[in-house]
Structure 1
Amino acid sequence: MKYAKIELERDDVHKRFGGGIPLCSIIHIEGEESSGKSILSQRLSYCFLQNSYSLSYISTQSTTTEFVKQMTSLKYMINKKLLNGNLLYIPVYPLISDNTQKDDFIKKSMTTRAFYEKDIIIFDCLSTLISNDASEVQVGDLMSFLKRIASMNKIIVYTINPKELSDQVVTMLRTAATMVIKTETFSFGGNLKNSAKIVKYNMAAGPFQKVMVFRVDPGLGIAVEISSVA
């Protein structure tokens, strides 16, 4: 089994995730709004790029300019990766208010070859994109397709807000994934913290921490709390 490196010198995220991410993985990151899904996706995308993997990032959250500014604020510098083509950023931000265009996103996502030419493919936020046509049959087709893509030594990452999908569809997405992470926020000592709980991790490279408590610091990105509270 081969593993993609996710190590950055300034944080310990890679240690919490077992030292690396197995190739052929499908990573499901689930949580409500502002629970930390996107920052985890951004942290993973940056470390993949820093370790010489190419990456497609399909986003409902930000325009290209907004994404670059957000990453820069966290010192996740991606400008050169965009310019040299290692990072393909695809903003679908305008589509989230256009239901007509959203209706066939599942079909479009399986026929847009450019998405899958990179080593890593990230959808943030997948539930927003498929909420209008997320029947069990269509989602089953999508996950079968993503499994075929991942089997070619690629890694698929997607985030979802479970409130945007039916319970049956959320269960299908969790079941199809090789790694499931649930994010949430909580108050501790008067401060708001984020947590990422690994509830499923197939083919882990090594021991991993089931609950990672972290905060987001400007100029640093994710800062793992040493004294984690589960």
Structure 2
Amino acid sequence: MVEIVSTSNEEIDVNLGGGLPIPSLMLIEGEHGTGKSAVAAQFISGMLKSNMRVLCITENTVNDYIKKMKTITFNFSEAFLNNDLTLLSLHINGTSWSKEQALQLLPSINKYIKEQSEKFDCVVIDSLSFVTAYSDMDKVLDFITSCKYLVSSGMSVILTMHQNSMPQEVGLRLKAACDVYFSLKSSRIGDQAVKILNNIKMIGANSPPEASFAFNIDPVFGIKIIPISMSTV
């Protein structure tokens, strides 16, 4: 049964038709600098405030991730210390992934998530592009199938991805499998630089969501909706 969970940002909730449909498979896609990690962090914040247990797999170190999120108002330190938020870093100081190791990265993560699934209500992978850089198509498709199974079992999966970082066929399969698909881009409204969230697909919303909205990331207020007509973009 799908429930609606607040993102902990009332403006975003309104634009999304009430909040996030849970459980669901969500994809946040966009070029570098479009706010993918910030949007994912906003969703993590809402889930934690709804007493959900979250696993976040990041290409940053744990310390760097917590510091980075704190600069945009998301203080995950307490949730991390209380084990409500588990951070799994793919970054090892002083080393780099060999191609052979990278080939095993996605299958290893897939196996870990399945084995630990009962401990978490949501898993976030930020970013899938890093994890799948050397993966072959079959392994990525196996992972997508596993994600759908996890969602059917009650867990939500949130994936961030750089635009066009996968072969077209695989990318299309992933987008078709998703319950929620957001496409982010940078733009300008007048002389103001903004980020745009295009709501491509959202199954299970309480009410019809906005097709798109503009926002900025403020170090004091976090994600702040820009109340300007999208017709000017």
Structure-1-length-normalised TM-score = 0.92
Shift of 1:106: 2.2
5+ residue gaps, structure 2, are none
Counterpart of 1:8, as a letter, is: S
Aligned partner of 2:211 in structure 1 is: 210
| Aligned-residue RMSD, C-alpha | 1.8
Shift of 1:64: 1.1
Runs of 4+ in structure 1 off by over 3 angstroms are: 94-98
Size of the alignment, in residue pairs?
227
Give the secondary structure class of the aligned counterpart of 2:136: coil
Shift of 1:115: 6.1
Going from structure 1 to structure 2, the CA distance change for 1:48 and 1:165 (only over 3 Å counts) comes to same
Counterpart of 1:152, as a letter, is: S
Q: Is the 8 A contact 2:214 2:225 kept in 1?
A: yes
Q: How much identity, in percent, do the aligned residues show?
A: 19
Aligned partner of 2:220 in structure 1 is: 219
5+ residue gaps, structure 1, are none
Q: What are the superposed Cα offsets for residues 59-87 of structure 1, whole Å, 9 maximum, x if unpaired? A: 12x21111111222222221111011010
Q: What are the superposed Cα offsets for residues 146-176 of structure 1, whole Å, 9 maximum, x if unpaired? A: 1111112221100111332111111111011
Give the secondary structure class of the aligned counterpart of 1:175: helix
Structure-2-length-normalised TM-score = 0.90
Q: Is the 8 A contact 1:29 1:159 kept in 2?
A: yes
d(CA) in 2 for partners of 1:116, 1:224: 35
d(CA) in 1 for partners of 2:96, 2:212: 32
d(CA) in 2 for partners of 1:37, 1:116: 27
Counterpart of 2:15, as a letter, is: R
Going from structure 1 to structure 2, the CA distance change for 1:192 and 1:109 (only over 3 Å counts) comes to same
Aligned partner of 2:45 in structure 1 is: 46
1:70 maps to 2:68: yes
Aligned counterparts, 1:45-194, within 5 A: 45-60=44-59, 62-94=60-92, 97-112=97-112, 113-114=115-116, 117-135=119-137, 137-194=138-195
Q: What are the superposed Cα offsets for residues 83-105 of structure 1, whole Å, 9 maximum, x if unpaired? A: 11010011113487533321112
